[in-house]
Every structure is written in structure tokens, then in C-alpha cells.
């Protein structure tokens, strides 16, 4: 739990986070399990991102949420805000050199695939 999380240049990771805000930039094939009070901000060159609701509990979770000011009754995990464009002229990520397009958003994980994370 924290107030702001910034995730940059990650590939094929699963992140479970409770925060006021999260910014996701330049990530690929990641899954985010979020409990956030503001819309997730998605910027940069992202591909195949998936988002789902916060999926864990531990005994001191309520205390930690209170310490950082996160309201557990407000979760905007499913309302991503996409900002910016992808530069398709970047020869490293897009050698074809096509015109700029809107940055890719995240898709919601199918509810049938939601699982709880339990730490043993």
C-alpha cells in the first residue's frame, strides 16, 4: 500500500497494488490487480496490459490503507485513462514507421479468471 505507484518498462509481471494512484508506462504483457482511488494512468508504449480488481487480503491491510490514506470503498481499477500517443517512427519498437496512433489501453481480465492471491 502506498499513495502513488509508478510502473515503468516492465515485461510479463503480475503486480498487486493498493494505492491512491498508479501510473503505468511502457509495459508489455503485464497484469495489474488494482485497488486504486483514481483512474489508472496509462502512458507511453504499452502492449497487452490486463487489469483486474485488487485480489488479496492480509491481517494488517486495513491499517496500511489508513496509514497512506487509501479509501477501500472506492476502487477505479476498471477505468483506465490513456494519455499520449505512441511514436511509431521509433525504429526500436516499430521498425515499420507507420504514423502515430493512440496509445494502447488495458483490457479487463475476464471475471471468470479472477483469483485470490494468498500468501502462505
Q: Give pLDDT tens digits for 69-108.
A: 999 999 999 999 998 655 555 545 544 444 444 556 788 8
Q: Give pLDDT tens digits for 22-70.
A: 999 999 999 999 999 999 999 999 999 999 999 999 999 999 999 999 9
Q: How far apart are CA 63 and CA 100, in angstroms?
A: 45
Q: Which residues pair with 17 in a beta bridge?
A: 34
Query: Does pTM top 0.75 for this prediction?
Result: yes
Question: What residue segments make up the domains of the chain, in order of their start?
Answer: 4-86+99-110
* pLDDT at residue 1, as a whole number: 83
Beta carbons of 19 and 40 less than 8 angstroms apart: no
| Fold for the domain defined by 4-86+99-110 | Pectate Lyase C-like (2.160.20)
Q: How far apart are CA 97 and CA 77, in angstroms?
A: 33
Amino acid at each position: 500500500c502506498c499513495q502513488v505507484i509508478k510502473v515503468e518498462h516492465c515485461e510479463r509481471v503480475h503486480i498487486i497494488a493498493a494505492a491512491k494512484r498508479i501510473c503505468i508506462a511502457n509495459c508489455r504483457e503485464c497484469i495489474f490487480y488494482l485497488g486504486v482511488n483514481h483512474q489508472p494512468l496509462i502512458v507511453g508504449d504499452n502492449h497487452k496490459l490486463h487489469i483486474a480488481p485488487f485480489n488479496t487480503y492480509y491481517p494488517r491491510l486495513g491499517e496500511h490503507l489508513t496509514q497512506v490514506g487509501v479509501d477501500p470503498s472506492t476502487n477505479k481499477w476498471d477505468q483506465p485513462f490513456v494519455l499520449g500517443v505512441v511514436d511509431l517512427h521509433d525504429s526500436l519498437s516499430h521498425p515499420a514507421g507507420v504514423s502515430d496512433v493512440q496509445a494502447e489501453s488495458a483490457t479487463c481480465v475476464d471475471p471468470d479468471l479472477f483469483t485470490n492471491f494468498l500468501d502462505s
